[in-house]
């Protein structure tokens, strides 16, 4: 064996509703498409048509031997207008969840993954304190309708990425450039997560369940100074790390609000996560008030540095804030032609296998090639290839490698020879 993972280490895949379901949904991403903000102009209404193909996709997951599956339900479908609930959509998701469970796969349900209904966006969504109750009403509905079927939840996906991309960097709709708004979103997300955490626990406890697990998916990056000994680069790395992950993590998991966040909700200190959810992709080299990438490093097809060591370095930082079991809720890479994904998988899982941190789960991003936000259909992250014209699915080489890893709970010498040996990364 090249390396072995623990027998109770569970492996599966992750997806998000907007990125795979397709269909015309009145949310911020349909709006972004209408406004011409998607680089290849591909429409999220196509994506993988998973909404109509979940039977076949669940069968495929079963065939691949997946043990766990993280996926989202679309708030804008369930509540298309303020105060309105679409019962057909609820029944659709109930059926999908049952199928997943019948296939022997454990569901982890995401409640907010970068998509908000337009009626909520029009009110200023999470930038405003007075809007948070709309999301909590959705969470209440989720408890009532899905609470007895699902025991594991991600409340909010990557609060930091969403807040900064939409409201500070202005790269995602509604394209604002306001640090004040980004901070408000993070303050409100923290409260929303903590309330949702308590609500889901209370609801399931009343039903007599004791296996409830709730957290959020935390996007973590390594922030290293571009020049190791440059004091300005070092200082800025620390500030960015705090703004981007230190402060949001402490607020969400412990109810401790530090600059740049503020406890506007008078949240009580506590422990608001049953596991640490880590979404890890890459490292940033900090030049000053902005980031870049080190020269001469391996890159994926979006030019992100491939830096396996970072999965441990970032996780350790979060673990030091709250020592709980670790679930890698996303890790993967954009590899359009599936040339190096197997090596990426090998190296990241190898780091996990040789670490003494309590890793319990790994959800690979993504199950299928997915509609990649502003990159549209052009960036491919899937273990399964999707032909967007015909919607045909085919397992990629890296998908077969992943199946082998799950079956053997590690990488055998044969699998290494077959799938990994000889793969070179592109260096830039
Ligand atoms: C997001 C996914 C996205 C992936 C790759 C994560 O930040 O949660 O939705 O597709 O990264 O960019």
Q: What tens digit of pLDDT does each residue of 373-416 get?
A: 999 999 999 999 999 999 999 999 999 999 999 999 999 999 99
**Mutation pick for ligand 1 pocket among 70, 172, 330 (CB with most ligand atoms within 8 Å):** 330
Q: How many Å apart are CA 188 and CA 8, to the nearest integer?
A: 36
**% of the chain residues with pLDDT over 70:** 100
In 15-99, which ranges are E strands? 68-72
Decide: 372 in ligand 1 pocket, CB within 6 A.
yes
Distance CA 134, CA 126 (A): 10
Q: What is the mean pLDDT of residues 185-199?
A: 98
**From the CB of 219, is ligand 1 less than 6 Å away?**
yes
Q: Report CA(106)–ligand 1 centroid distance (Å).
A: 21
> 367 CA distance to ligand 1 centroid (A)?
12
330 lines ligand 1 (CB under 6 A): yes
Q: What's the rounded mean pLDDT across residues 197-216?
A: 98
* Cα 109 to ligand 1 centre (Å): 16
Q: How many CB atoms lie within 10 A of CB 119?
A: 18
- Rounded Cα–Cα distance for residues 293 and 216 (Å): 27
Smallest CA-to-CA distance from 420 within 405, 407, 370 is with 405
Q: Is the pLDDT of residue 177 over 90?
A: yes
Whether pLDDT at 63 is above 90: yes
pLDDT number for residue 239: 97
pTM of the shown model: 0.98
Please compute the mean of the pLDDT values over residues 227-239 and round it to a whole number: 97
316-347 confidence digits (pLDDT tens): 999 999 999 999 999 999 999 999 999 999 99
CA distance 180 to 204: 36
- For residue 172, the model assigns a pLDDT of 98
- Per-residue pLDDT averaged across 42-63, rounded? 98
Q: How far apart are CA 120 and CA 188, in angstroms?
A: 14
Question: Given its phi and psi angles, is residue 330 left (phi above 0), alpha (psi -120 to 50 degrees) or beta?
Answer: beta
371 lines ligand 1 (CB under 6 A): no
> How many CB atoms lie under 10 A from the CB of residue 296?
7
Q: Does pLDDT of 292 surpass 90? A: yes
Q: At what angle do helices 397-408 and 341-353 cross, to 10 degrees?
A: 20
pLDDT of residue 367 exceeding 90: yes
Residue 289 has pLDDT above 90, yes or no: no
Ligand 1 centroid – CA 416 distance (Å): 27
Radius of gyration of the chain (CA): 20
Give the mean pLDDT of the chain: 98
Overall average pLDDT of the 161-180 stretch = 98
C-beta of residue 340 within 8 angstroms of C-beta of residue 425: yes
Cβ-proximal residues to 262 (8 Å cutoff; 6+ apart), any chain:
183, 187
Pairwise CA distance, residues 9 & 98, whole Å = 23
What number is the average pLDDT over the span 135-144?
A: 98
Buried b (16+ CB within 10 A) or exposed e, 180-190: ebbbbbbbbbb
Neighbours of 22 (CB within 10 A): 22
Ligand 1 atom nearest to 373, measured from its CA: 10
Q: What is the mean pLDDT of residues 27-41?
A: 98
pLDDT of residue 93: 99
3 state DSSP class of 176: coil
Residue 222: beta bridge partners?
A: 283
Residue nearest (by alpha carbon) to ligand 1 atom 10: 372
């Amino acid at each position: 064996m090249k390396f072995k993972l623990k027998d109770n280490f569970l492996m599966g895949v992750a997806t998000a509703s907007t990125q795979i379901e397709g269909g015309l949904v009145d949310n911020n991403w349909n709006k972004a498409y209408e406004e011409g903000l998607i680089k290849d102009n591909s429409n999220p209404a196509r994506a993988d048509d998973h909404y109509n193909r979940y039977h076949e996709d669940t069968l495929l997951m079963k065939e691949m031997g997946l043990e766990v599956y993280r996926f989202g339900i679309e708030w804008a479908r369930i509540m298309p207008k303020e105060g309105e609930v679409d019962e057909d959509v609820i029944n659709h998701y109930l059926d999908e969840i049952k199928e997943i469970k019948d296939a022997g796969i454990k569901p982890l349900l995401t409640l907010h993954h970068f998509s908000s209904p337009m009626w909520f966006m029009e009110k200023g969504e999470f930038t405003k304190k007075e809007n948070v109750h709309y999301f909590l009403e959705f969470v209440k509905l989720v408890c009532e309708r899905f609470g007895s079927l699902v025991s594991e939840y991600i409340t909010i996906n990557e609060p930091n990425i969403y807040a900064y991309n939409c409201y500070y960097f202005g790269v995602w709709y509604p394209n604002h450039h306001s640090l004040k708004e980004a901070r408000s979103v993070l303050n409100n997300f923290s409260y929303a997560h903590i309330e949702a955490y308590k609500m889901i626990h209370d609801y399931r406890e009343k039903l007599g369940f004791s296996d409830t697990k709730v957290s959020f998916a935390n996007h973590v990056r390594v922030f290293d100074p571009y020049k190791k000994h440059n004091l300005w680069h070092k200082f800025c790395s620390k500030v960015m790390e705090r703004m981007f992950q230190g402060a949001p993590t402490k607020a969400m998991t412990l109810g401790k609000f530090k600059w740049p966040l503020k406890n506007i909700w008078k949240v009580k200190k506590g422990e608001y996560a049953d596991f640490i959810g880590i979404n890890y992709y890459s490292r940033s080299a900090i030049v000053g008030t902005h980031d870049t990438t080190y020269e001469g490093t391996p890159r994926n097809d979006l030019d992100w540095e491939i830096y396996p060591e970072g999965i441990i370095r970032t996780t350790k930082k979060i673990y030091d804030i709250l020592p709980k079991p670790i679930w890698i809720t996303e890790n993967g890479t954009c590899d359009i032609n599936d040339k190096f994904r197997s090596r990426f998988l090998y190296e990241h899982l190898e780091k996990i296998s040789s670490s003494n941190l309590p890793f319990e789960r790994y959800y690979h991003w993504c199950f299928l090639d997915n509609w990649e936000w502003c990159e549209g259909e052009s960036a491919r992250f899937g273990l399964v290839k999707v032909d967007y014209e015909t919607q045909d699915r085919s397992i990629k080489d890296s998908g077969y490698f992943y199946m082998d890893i799950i079956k053997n709970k590690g990488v055998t010498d044969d699998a290494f020879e077959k799938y990994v040996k000889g793969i070179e990364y592109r260096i830039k």
